[in-house]
Amino acid sequence: MITRKNPDELAKMRRAGRVVAETIAAVAAAVRPGITTGELDTIAEHEIRSRGAVPSFLGYRGFPATICTSINHEIVHGIPGRKVLSEGDLFKLDCGAIVEGFHADSAVTIPVGEVAPELSKLIETTERALWAGIEEVRVGNRLGDIGHAVQTVAEGAGFSVVREYVGHGVGRALHEEPPVPNYGDPSRGIRLEPGLVIAIEPMVNVGGKETVLLEDGWTVVTEDGSHSAHFEHTVAVTPEGPEVLTAPAAH
């Protein structure tokens, strides 16, 4: 079932989005060679709870932490712990928060110190692909317009788009209908209507698009070991166009 949010619910999601944006900014500021992913998780939980919100991921299907931390060839859903960030790493941080029962969900890829030029290009391309998708979040457009825009940017730069994990509706549940693929045909899929809120989250690989789930049951990696980048925003469809609920500049 696809739910459309009323103005009152959208206001709560806007506040959840702001908590997520501020938390991501705080964690990003702490990223440096030598810090552990567990330390970054502690920062994130403090930032979320100090704003009166609740982490979305902690306990979600048994996930043991506040944020997902994925490094280099890890695509998404890495578990924070003793892993230490090193100069040249690609660090991905995924974060969700709940305010008055409503979730917001966002992710960024952060270079640790200086990274190889190809990885800078991967980060820039993946973020640009996300924003190309966001630009299509307009009343009357279809879901396929978003995926097509994302895919065109990512593949146009010579990278591949992960198929096995996709974006999603978001609201009272972290993951709601509809699935939001980062690929597809324009003018296909459901029509975008005001009040629909979706998380758009391209995962883009240097090498092939194939993925493998590790034995911890969470961490998803590229099959060929190539690096991967991930960006995500929670976006509301409004009559005026896309409203990016997790964008820091929007507040």
Residues of the shown chain interacting with Mg ion in the complex, contacts defined by CB under 5 A = 94, 105, 107, 199, 232
| Secondary structure, 3-state, the chain | CCCCCCHHHHHHHHHHHHHHHHHHHHHHHHCCCCCEHHHHHHHHHHHHHHCCCEECCCCHHHCCCCEEEEECCEEECCCCCCCECCCCCEEEEEEEEEECCEEEEEEEEEECCCCCHHHHHHHHHHHHHHHHHHHCCCCCCEHHHHHHHHHHHHHHCCCEECCCCCEEECCCCCCEEEEECCCCCCCCCCECCCCCEEEECCEEECCCCCEEECCCCCCEEECCCCCEEECEEEEEEECCEEEECCCHHHC
Shortest spacing between CB 199 and Mg ion, in angstroms: 4
Shortest spacing between CB 220 and Mg ion, in angstroms: 12
Is the distance from CB of 165 to CB of 180 less than 8 angstroms?
no
Closer by beta carbon to Mg ion, 145 or else 232: 232
Closer by beta carbon to Mg ion, 108 or else 115: 108
Shortest spacing between CB 116 and Mg ion, in angstroms: 25
Shortest spacing between CB 91 and Mg ion, in angstroms: 15
Shortest spacing between CB 234 and Mg ion, in angstroms: 8
Shortest spacing between CB 168 and Mg ion, in angstroms: 6
Closer by beta carbon to Mg ion, 107 or else 192: 107
Closer by beta carbon to Mg ion, 74 or else 94: 94
Shortest spacing between CB 92 and Mg ion, in angstroms: 10
Separation of first and last alpha carbons in the chain: 30
Closer by beta carbon to Mg ion, 115 or else 199: 199
Closer by beta carbon to Mg ion, 88 or else 247: 247
What is the rounded (10 degree) CA torsion for 247, 240, 190, 210?
Answer: -30
Closer by beta carbon to Mg ion, 146 or else 199: 199
